[in-house]
Amino acid sequence: MPEPAPNAELLRALGRLLRGLSALFWGLPIALVICVQSAKGDWFRPMGVFPALAATAVLYYGLHLLGNFQSQERVWISALERAKVIALVNIALSPFLFWYNKVPGQTFFAMIVSFLALSGLGYLMALNPVLWRLAAMLPDETLRQETKFFTTFNRYLLIVCFGLVLFFTSIAWTNAAMIDQVFDFAISYIPPDRRPLPLLILADKGAGLWIVLFLVLLPVAMTMALIWKIKEVIFSSVFGLDH
């Protein structure tokens, strides 16, 4: 019996799905580097607001391409739309990274950049359910279980990052000296050799920011690994190994 002709519309949707996954896979680390450099470094200063705008736009474009797959699934589309709204917020706020770098010390720009950092974490938190819903529609039980586990773990990590960023941001925008005095007074009752590691991290603001960066890189790496795994499953299970 000859093989049935493939559904042309389905193949087009799968092709756009793969392109969207590729845009997300490469866009996540590139956007992270470009946004940090736009705010703190000099690499992209001659190009103005364009690098940050382009990087965040790629992350929205990847989600837009994913929307062409199984558009009748309400739960999948609902998760996708939530992530797209946050991606649009990131695009709108990304020019402030350049202005924050160009005019250091400006309170308004610093506040917007802090909000953009929280919005970026929100994008990652919204992207993981998108990958989970996508894996649930693919014919691979192992992928579904792995995606469910790692996306749940990622979201817990991102909640911790969100809380730490809120903590350090609140210190920056309130009376930091008074907060430090209260914190030092509170931990003074604990002997130095018995103070737990979280308290030592909070006492050293610079170390705390490095911990936040590490905690962000970990879910970004796991999200990229899940995207790559989903792409491989689509190639092998949907298109077939011989195509």
What's the rounded Cα separation, in Å, for the pair 180 and 203?
Answer: 8
> With helix as H, strand as E and coil as C, how does the chain read?
CCCCCCCHHHHHHHHHHHHHHHHHHHHHHHHHHHHHHHHHCCCCHHHCCHHHHHHHHHHHHHHHHHCCCCCCCHHHHHHHHHHHHHHHHHHHHCHHHHHHHHCCCCHHHHHHHHHHHHHHHHHHHHHHHHHHHHHHCCCCHHHHHHHHHHHHHHHHHHHHHHHHHHHHHHHHHCCHHHHHHHHHHHHCCCCHHHCCHHHHHHHCHHHHHHHHHHHHHHHHHHHHHHHHHHHHHHHHHHHCCCC
Q: Which residues contact 52 (CB under 8 A, 6 or more apart)?
A: 34, 35, 38, 44, 94, 95, 97, 98
What's the rounded Cα separation, in Å, for the pair 76 and 64?
Answer: 13
Q: Classify residue 133: in a domain, yes or no.
A: yes
* Amino acid type, 84: K
Provide the pLDDT confidence category of residue 240 given band limits of 50, 70 and 90. low
Provide the pLDDT confidence category of residue 243 given band limits of 50, 70 and 90. very low
Q: What pLDDT, on a 0 to 100 scale, did the predictor assign at position 190?
A: 58
Q: Classify residue 120: in a domain, yes or no.
A: yes
User: Quick check: 46 pLDDT over 80?
Assistant: yes
Q: Average pLDDT for residues 35-64, to the nearest whole number?
A: 88
The model carries a pTM of: 0.78
Q: Average pLDDT for residues 23-45, to the nearest whole number?
A: 87
Average of per-residue pLDDT values in the chain: 79
Q: Classify residue 45: in a domain, yes or no.
A: yes
Q: Classify residue 214: in a domain, yes or no.
A: yes
Minimal CA–CA distance to 108: which of 176, 173, 31? 173
Q: Which residues contact 168 (CB under 8 A, 6 or more apart)?
A: 205, 208, 209, 212
Q: Classify residue 3: in a domain, yes or no.
A: no
Q: Which residues contact 33 (CB under 8 A, 6 or more apart)?
A: none
Q: What pLDDT, on a 0 to 100 scale, did the predictor assign at position 58?
A: 94
What pLDDT, in 10s, does the model give residues 112-166?
Answer: 888 888 898 899 999 999 999 998 888 888 888 888 898 888 888 888 888 877 7
Provide the pLDDT confidence category of residue 197 given band limits of 50, 70 and 90. very low
The parent domain of residue 138 ranges over: 8-239
Q: What pLDDT, on a 0 to 100 scale, did the predictor assign at position 225?
A: 92
Backbone angles phi, psi at 104, to 5 degrees: -65, 145
What pLDDT, in 10s, does the model give residues 60-71?
Answer: 999 999 988 887
Q: Classify residue 91: in a domain, yes or no.
A: yes
Terminal alpha carbon distance of the chain = 19
Q: Average pLDDT for residues 209-219, to the nearest whole number?
A: 71
Q: Classify residue 1: in a domain, yes or no.
A: no
What is the tally of structural domains in the chain?
Answer: 1
Listed range (3-7, 39-43, 64-68) with the worst mean pLDDT: 3-7
Q: What pLDDT, on a 0 to 100 scale, did the predictor assign at position 62?
A: 93
